[in-house]
Amino acid sequence: MTDKTKRDMGDSETGGKADKSSTPKMQRRDFVTKGMMGIGAGLAGTQLIACGEKKNGAAQPPQTRSVSTTHSAAPESFHVPPGQLDDYYGFWSGGQSGEIRVVGVPSMRELKRIPVFNRCSASGWGGDDFSKALLGGKFSGDTHHVHLSYTHGTYDGRYVYVNDKAGARLARVRLDTFAVDHITFLPNSAGTHGIFPQRHKTGLVLCNSEFRLPMPNDGTAMEDELTYAAMHTAVDGETMEVKWQVMVEGNLDLCATDYEGNYSFATCYNSEGGAWLEDMMAADQDYLYVFHLANIEEAVKAGKTMTVGKSKVPVVDARGKNSPYVQRIPVPKSPHGVNVEPRGKYAIVAGKLSPTCSVVEIAKLADLFAGKLEPADCIVARPEVGLGPLHTCFDGKGFAYTSIFIDSMITKWDIAKAIEAHNGADVEPIVQKLDVHYQVGHINASMSETKDADGKWLIALCKFSKDRFLNVGPLHGENDQLIDISGDTMKLMHDGPTAPEPHDCVLVRLDLINPVKISPRTGPRFDLYNKWAKEDGVNLLRDNVVKRKGKHVRVYMTSMAPEFGTGEIKVKSGDIVQVILTNQDEVEDLSHGFCMTGHDVNFLVNPQDTNSMTFVAGEPGLYWFYCPWFCHALHLEMRGRMYVEA
């Protein structure tokens, strides 16, 4: 199958579609009769958006948003005219770009790039003193999954969590400032892939390590893959501390939580424990791992744990067999996504190498852990959805939408009918199959991962774009497609090219997010600045002074358009210069920056914010510094001189 799949994917003549002759069991794509198309347009005009009050966010003034400027067209119209606002905040994981993107939906306009694990020239992220300490001079990241913090089963507007597969890290973004405030390293982990926060409250964030490692991974025994293990790690969503880990034998892929705070789920596609492609695909069966959180926490509390390597995090050893901590539900080989539908009743496991989804009834899990059921008895349906099913999302009306990678399509199916069919009823659960372009990975729908799923829009994150956009050389963008799911049938509305490589996204109703417009001057960054200011007896918001200790020179500066508070800096070549700049402007959108020519120094300072960067003064000479953010008609004149003496 490997060779065939590859040919299919690469063949632009056939639009990247699979050879149907090899998939005799598959439904035809035009399964839905033409007579069904277009039914249900009456549902389309309903507008669920409202201007709500902030729920659980960090302290900030309530934001007033004029309803009249909000886009309120029926879902069929995705165009948001000039001066109107989108209906949803989309949070996109940027994959190898290491960033998060904020995308307005339905317009599909990128509203912001949030640098996380990457170096951002525009903001200075990765080079400024605060983020440099967080990232340690590492500038490669691979963000995979973004999820917002929850309370009572829906988004509480406080935080976004995102993982780095390349560096085994979990980052958090504050949703008042849309900026990272914490990055946590996950010990004994490699290839951190699926993450999911608990949904009953801002509690744990569960993180799966996909690549199994020797435990400990200290170089003493490295080559026998049959001894490797993987970690399911719990991070406290409030403090960002690692609370505990559960060690298992199989690799852990995607992650989900239930709505009650009882369980977390992980797909395992390589229960063989292979390290080579053919070994990973050897067995016909893999698993959905179910973690029993209360039992695990009880074991941690009782000290029934170990530590691994240099880490002090308590580890529950759950390798090898089912236990009060982990149960393994068998599914066809190499599953990928696991998604819990909005009523919280079913977890749906996509088959990847099986053309099916396995539906697990969550209510049965208590009996499973009580030993009253066999793991396989928890599966209540297994509909055939297409070749290469990866992820499933929901509309809150009982339908599931599964992304089909090899077939390049989205399959809409009826969960209740799938269960009936599994029980022997002669019903057809498949509702529609819609072509997408091409090779879709993740999909998500508006509010799909909350109890408030509203069935308006679906996003298909296609991994290949091939011929869908103007050719821009050998590296093609991905294609984020916008699909209207408000009616009985899905409708493709828009092709959205994106920089590599969105892995996942969530769509959040605009009333649930309430950002500030002016820096609140709080959080770990300000703990740092306030500490320095106290040491030096400086008022950050007012003072323009230089504090020298030997070769270390702290330059405290202010800015107010179109001038810096300091126009001249005198240092010696080789001095370690730290510029700490506070933007005195209180006007929305009036950001400044500080760029020192010839020194690789450039950073952003938002209204009423402070930021800082440290550099070594170069060869003797004059170096101009300037504000690189167009802030004023006299912006070009906003500059000063650094004299570097021999």
Site for a second copy in 204-263 (CB under 8 A): 210-211, 213-214, 217-220, 222-223, 228, 253
Window 127-166: contact mask with a second copy (x via CB under 8 A): x---------xxxxxx----------------------xx
**Does position 12 bind a second copy by CB under 8 A?**
yes
User: Least distance (Å) from a second copy to the CB of residue 402?
Assistant: 15
Using CB under 8 A as the binding rule, the residues of this chain from 576 to 595 that contact a second copy are: 585, 587-591, 593, 595
Distances (CA, A) of 316 to 181, 234, 293, 307, 472: 29, 12, 11, 9, 50
Q: Using an 8 Å Cβ cutoff, are 415 and 426 in contact? A: no
Q: Is 469 helix (H, G, I), strand (E, B) or coil?
A: coil
Measured distance CA(316)–CA(327) in Å, rounded: 14
**Does position 201 bind a second copy by CB under 8 A?**
no
**Residue 52 DSSP one-character state:** P
Nearer to a second copy, 216 or 324 (CB): 216
Using CB under 8 A as the binding rule, the residues of this chain from 504 to 543 that contact a second copy are: 510, 513, 515-519
Q: What amino acid occupies position 230?
A: A
Using CB under 8 A as the binding rule, the residues of this chain from 399 to 458 that contact a second copy are: 405-406, 437, 439, 441
Stretch (H or E) spanning 365: helix 365-369
In sequence order, the 6+-apart residues with CB closer than 8 A to the CB of 215 are: 188, 228, 229, 247, 308, 309
Using CB under 8 A as the binding rule, the residues of this chain from 323 to 352 that contact a second copy are: 336, 352
Q: What amino acid occupies position 577?
A: V
Near a second copy by CB under 8 A, which window of 149-157, 355-363, 540-548, 602-610? 602-610
Window 627-646: contact mask with a second copy (x via CB under 8 A): -xxxxxxx-xxxx-x-xxxx
Report the chain's terminal Cα–Cα distance, integer Å.
68
Using CB under 8 A as the binding rule, the residues of this chain from 452 to 481 that contact a second copy are: 463-477, 481
Near a second copy by CB under 8 A, which window of 48-56, 81-89, 359-367, 391-399? 81-89
**Does position 179 bind a second copy by CB under 8 A?**
yes
Q: Is 6 helix (H, G, I), strand (E, B) or coil?
A: helix
**Does position 567 bind a second copy by CB under 8 A?**
yes
Nearer to a second copy, 275 or 545 (CB): 275
Measured distance CA(85)–CA(575) in Å, rounded: 49
The DSSP code sequence of 282-322 is -SSEEEEEEEEHHHHHHHHHTT--B--TT--S-EEE--SS-
Per CB under 8 A, the list member of 46, 69, 239, 423 interacting with a second copy is 69
User: Least distance (Å) from a second copy to the CB of residue 153?
Assistant: 24
Nearest by Cα to 98 from 194, 188, 171: 171
Can you read off the two tokens belonging to residue 101?
Answer: 């993107």
Per CB under 8 A, the list member of 67, 111, 366, 376 interacting with a second copy is 111
User: Least distance (Å) from a second copy to the CB of residue 168?
Assistant: 7
User: Least distance (Å) from a second copy to the CB of residue 298?
Assistant: 32
User: Least distance (Å) from a second copy to the CB of residue 225?
Assistant: 8
